[in-house]
Structure 1
Amino acid sequence: MNWKRSILAILTILSMYSVFFALSHSLGEPQVQAQLELYQTNLILNASSWNPQQENISNISQNLIGQNPLSVAQFSYEKALNLTSDSLNKLAENEGSIVTETPRQQLKQNIAKNQEVIEDLNLKLAIITAEENNLNLANTYLSKISDQNLINTLNSIWIKREDIDSNAEKIINNRLEGWFQLKTLERLYDVENNQVKLENILDEQQILAQKAITTLFALSLIPVFGGVIGFGILVFLLTQLLLKKQDSILAINYNKTWESPWNWETIWQVFIVGFFFLSQVLLPIIFGVSGFNPAVLDIKGKALYVLCSYFLMAGGGLLVLYLSLKPFFPLPEDWFKLSNKNWYWWGIGGYLVAIPLVFLVSIINQLIWQGRGGSNPLLLLALESQDKFALIIFFVTASIAAPIFEEIMFRGFLLPSLTRYFPVWGSIVLSAVIFAVAHLSLAETIPLAILGIILGIVYTRSRSLLASITVHSLWNSGTLFSLFLLGSS
């Protein structure tokens, strides 16, 4: 083994350890999907108060919110409560094994945060079950809240319906928001027989409900309409493949490989040094030594940090790719080809087909992981951010920079390079699995692998990086759009 391979072996060990550690850590982390479900649940609760005059509009709203929104809301919040309670128990179990001060402080902060979340979930479950007239269960949830003034206030409004504190309105406005606030105020004014305030709060509920209905409809546009169209395209392509076989659209370039003048060592070098080592070892060390802590930044600062760190990673990765392939210049034909005939149709069609496939796989994936397995931290930042500048930065990062860099690396370089050793279909699957693992979230591995396979099929058939970049960009843009709508609700 020469010195180059020795260094590569050391970097591989360091990189794979970091990847394994990140994946293991994600196993105990909640998915962003769990928070998305609560955001959507709150939208459904808000929308449930709507009373449109037209019957056809009422039917549409009923289809959006379902037959029993309170039962759905109770299930979602109980699921979130169980997940958070499990996380708190695991954190408490680990507390005794921490010996250094900084991790111990971080662990205590996480425990305190989980305790706050649990109290908030108990509070909202108390109101949901009280609205369902399940007063015994509501009282059980109320008993788990630490704020005695809040317990007394809600108990007097929802359960006893008497002896209401004069500061009840102020307490409600300080601790509750959205449907939970308005429903509790509605019950308060009803008990107090304050008709003026009661009418005002009912009007406010209608305004919030109409907004929620509009948001739910907008959220359903991409998955429902895009999914139906995508499913139709998929059925057409598979039917044509069965009937026309070699002359079908999916058979285009299906077995055409690339001429690869480099061997496995170059492939290994590019991805270990230019992707995993750079992103998981080198950049974290640089930021750690500098003393820079992105956690103290506001949302704009975090958005800029994400963008800058991604550009550093992408720039370094592309530099390693260039230097690794430079001895083989000029490259054979078809390498890193941007456009080809009908590349845009492949891009749009690939995105539409990805919607129903990834959605179905995600449902199965949820059953497997039960809300665990972590998620991309960028999703949570985008969900919680309503700052326009930050959202633009997130869009540039996720919908422009990431598709370009990742498609060059995974579809432009890795997939074609693998065709030297594997058939095209095997190269598509293997590159998709590596693509999924590179996102460092166990819960997202299967859906991202399916997306990676679709990206690989689009690229191998179209022979255009612009086609796979389009699919990738549309996918990330659709995700950000949904997060923005949910976060603004």
Structure 2
Amino acid sequence: MTLKRWILAILTVVAVSFLSLSLLDSWTQPQIQSRLELYQTNLLLHASQWQGQGTQEESLMTLKDNLIGKTPVEEAYKQYQQVQESAEKSLAKVQANETSIAPDSLKQLQQLNQDLQLQIGILQTQLGQPDKALKTWKDLIEPQDSEFLVSPTEKMTAQVLTGLWKTPARLLPDAEPILQKQLDGWFRYQALVKLYTLQQRPEALVALETQEQQRAEQAVVKLIIVSAIPGMGLVIGLLLAIALGIQTLLKGKSSILATNMDVAWLIPWNGETILQVFVVGFALLGQLFIPLTLRAIFQELNIQPSSFEIRTQAVYILITYLLLMIGGFSVLYFSIKPYFPLPEGWFTLNFKGNWFLWGLGGYFVALPLVILVSLINQKLWDGQGGSNPLLPIALESRDSVALTIFFITASIAAPIFEEIMFRGFLLPSLTRYLPLGSAIILSGFLFAAAHLNISEVLPLMTLGIVLGFVYTRSRNLLASMFMHGLWNSGTLLSLYILGSGGS
């Protein structure tokens, strides 16, 4: 065994250990999915306030009723309770030293739990349960658990809400600015309605109602975009999958899905080259060396990237990803350079082919598959397992410049880099040792694991398998890049709409 192979073996152990520890570390981190559901619930609550005017809006009113259901407040209450139960379980595990969590993540989890208590109390008042609401807020004002630290702002907000709904009411000084600052969306609207009613301010009530009607109408439109349009895509995907399945049964090897199924790649390199590209170029450079180097530089300059304002964060994330691309592509190039010129079929980018149809079709077929797996996955992980750190930043961003930079990172840079690495190089290389189907599955798993969040492995693996299928059938990286870009763009659009819906 040569020195190079010994070094590569040691580096492989280091990379696998790092990957495993990162996945295990994500075990106790909160998922973004529960927050997404709450944001959509807030849109539903806003939309439920819309009354509409005139016969021209009757069809939109009917659509609104179908979207929000007959009991939106009751459904929202259940949703908030489920998320709170999950947050309390996580906090209890941390307090019992059953799991460890980063200080920032623990602080966010505690903040989430306190926000949920404020909001659940307001939901209880709208369900005719003011006594329960007062009890909910009392737990913030006078926490029973000595380890449960309530922030001063949350405690003050709970006191203001308690004063509004207790009998007789007690209006605290600065109640209005506190509610304006500490509550969002529908919850702020309900609290202000109660405050203005007690203060006997009809003009303020009229202005508030007018503003809420505008927001409620916008919420209906946003719900259509984030619910109805993906729903249509889901139906199209199911119909397309059924049609392609029937055609495959009828035509066999001459069907669309059998295209290029028997065409193999000529692979001039071996497993050592595969390990070299992914262990050195992807894992060590991308996940260890580049992040640690940047962190050391910023520490030396006494700068905390987490304190950056949103545009600077977006630029920082883009630069980090570009450095990852440069490092990964450099290792890939020098690893396969001895085998130039490459055999036909490697890294094909054919703009004249039918890549658009393959990419679009793959996107629609992936929708029902990933949604189904995600629903099952959500039950398995119960709100834990981590999420892509870019998602919550994009969810809370209102800056168009930052969102444009996020789009460049997620919808252009990521599809180019990941498709070249995972579908362009890894998948075909694996067919030297595995059947095509097994190579697609393994490359999909590695693609998912590389995102370093254990709760996302199953959904991303499903997406990776569809991407692999699209590439192996089209033999055109543009097809999988286009599908990947569509998927990430749809995710970013949904995050932006959901994030802008509650305020």
Q: TM-score if structure 1 supplies the norm length?
A: 0.94
Give the whole-Å Cα distance in 2 for the aligned partners of 1:51 and 1:259.
65
Cα offset, 1:386, TM superposition: 1.4
1:15 aligns to 2:15 (yes or no): yes
Alignment partner of 1:469: what SS?
helix
Root-mean-square deviation (CA), in Å?
A: 2.0
Counterpart for residue 300 of structure 1: 311
- Out of 337, 340, 345, the residue aligned to residue 326 of structure 1 is 337
Contact 2:355 2:479 in 1 (8 A): yes
Give the whole-Å Cα distance in 2 for the aligned partners of 1:407 and 1:139.
54
- Out of 298, 309, 314, the residue aligned to residue 320 of structure 2 is 309
Alignment partner of 1:305: what SS?
helix
Partner deviation per Cα, 1:282-337 (whole Å, 9 max, x = no partner): 11331233244321211111111111111111111111111110111111111111
Contact 2:362 2:483 in 1 (8 A): yes
Counterpart for residue 144 of structure 2: none
Instruction: Specify the code of the residue in structure 1 equivalent to 2:6.
Output: S
Give the whole-Å Cα distance in 2 for the aligned partners of 1:237 and 1:439.
31
Cα offset, 1:153, TM superposition: 3.2
Counterpart for residue 435 of structure 1: 447
Instruction: Flag the 1:345–1:389 CA change in 2: closer, same or farther, 3 A.
Output: same
Alignment partner of 2:263: what SS?
coil
Stretch deviating more after TM superposition (161-170 or 316-325):
161-170
Counterpart for residue 357 of structure 1: 369
Instruction: Flag the 1:387–1:250 CA change in 2: closer, same or farther, 3 A.
Output: same
- Out of 310, 335, 342, the residue aligned to residue 346 of structure 2 is 335
Instruction: Flag the 1:273–1:148 CA change in 2: closer, same or farther, 3 A.
Output: closer
Give the whole-Å Cα distance in 2 for the aligned partners of 1:148 and 1:7.
57
1:29 aligns to 2:29 (yes or no): yes
Contact 2:137 2:159 in 1 (8 A): no
Cα offset, 1:110, TM superposition: 4.3
Give the whole-Å Cα distance in 1 for the aligned partners of 2:465 and 2:155.
54
Contact 1:257 1:420 in 2 (8 A): no
Partner deviation per Cα, 1:49-71 (whole Å, 9 max, x = no partner): 11124443322101111221111
Q: After the TM superposition, which residues 274-423 of structure 1 pair with which residues of structure 2 at under 5 Å, given as runs?
A: 274-292=281-299, 293-339=304-350, 341-423=353-435
Counterpart for residue 479 of structure 1: 491
1:132 aligns to 2:127 (yes or no): yes
Alignment partner of 2:140: what SS?
coil
1:89 aligns to 2:92 (yes or no): yes
Counterpart for residue 269 of structure 1: 276
Instruction: Specify the code of the residue in structure 2 equivalent to 1:196.
Output: E
Cα offset, 1:190, TM superposition: 2.9
Alignment partner of 1:143: what SS?
helix
Stretch deviating more after TM superposition (221-230 or 367-376):
221-230
Counterpart for residue 180 of structure 1: 187
Contact 1:19 1:440 in 2 (8 A): yes
Partner deviation per Cα, 1:360-381 (whole Å, 9 max, x = no partner): 1111111111111111101111
- Out of 219, 226, 238, the residue aligned to residue 226 of structure 2 is 219
Contact 1:12 1:277 in 2 (8 A): no
Contact 1:343 1:466 in 2 (8 A): yes
Give the whole-Å Cα distance in 1 for the aligned partners of 2:362 and 2:159.
56
Give the whole-Å Cα distance in 2 for the aligned partners of 1:387 and 1:87.
32
Cα offset, 1:191, TM superposition: 3.5
1:446 aligns to 2:463 (yes or no): no
Counterpart for residue 120 of structure 1: 115
Give the whole-Å Cα distance in 2 for the aligned partners of 1:118 and 1:422.
48
Cα offset, 1:151, TM superposition: 3.9
Instruction: Specify the code of the residue in structure 1 equivalent to 2:87.
Output: T
Partner deviation per Cα, 1:165-199 (whole Å, 9 max, x = no partner): 46433432233221111112212333444333222
Alignment partner of 2:139: what SS?
coil
Counterpart for residue 206 of structure 1: 213
Instruction: Flag the 1:222–1:7 CA change in 2: closer, same or farther, 3 A.
Output: farther
Q: TM-score if structure 2 supplies the norm length?
A: 0.91
Partner deviation per Cα, 1:91-128 (whole Å, 9 max, x = no partner): 33449x99xxxx9xx62x54444333222111110000
Contact 2:124 2:133 in 1 (8 A): yes
Contact 1:256 1:424 in 2 (8 A): no
Give the whole-Å Cα distance in 1 for the aligned partners of 2:254 and 2:266.
24
Counterpart for residue 68 of structure 1: 71
Contact 1:48 1:69 in 2 (8 A): yes
Alignment partner of 1:145: what SS?
helix
Cα offset, 1:149, TM superposition: 5.0
Stretch deviating more after TM superposition (47-56 or 447-456):
47-56
Give the whole-Å Cα distance in 2 for the aligned partners of 1:112 and 1:405.
34
Contact 1:30 1:83 in 2 (8 A): no
Counterpart for residue 40 of structure 1: 40
Which runs of 5 or more structure 2 residues have no equivalent in the other structure? 142-153
Instruction: Specify the code of the residue in structure 2 equivalent to 1:466.
Output: L
Identity of aligned residues (%): 46
Contact 1:223 1:356 in 2 (8 A): no
Give the whole-Å Cα distance in 2 for the aligned partners of 1:230 and 1:434.
25
Stretch deviating more after TM superposition (82-91 or 397-406):
82-91
Which runs of 5 or more structure 1 residues have no equivalent in the other structure? none
Stretch deviating more after TM superposition (198-207 or 424-433):
198-207
Cα offset, 1:75, TM superposition: 1.6
Instruction: Flag the 1:483–1:471 CA change in 2: closer, same or farther, 3 A.
Output: same
Contact 2:286 2:327 in 1 (8 A): no
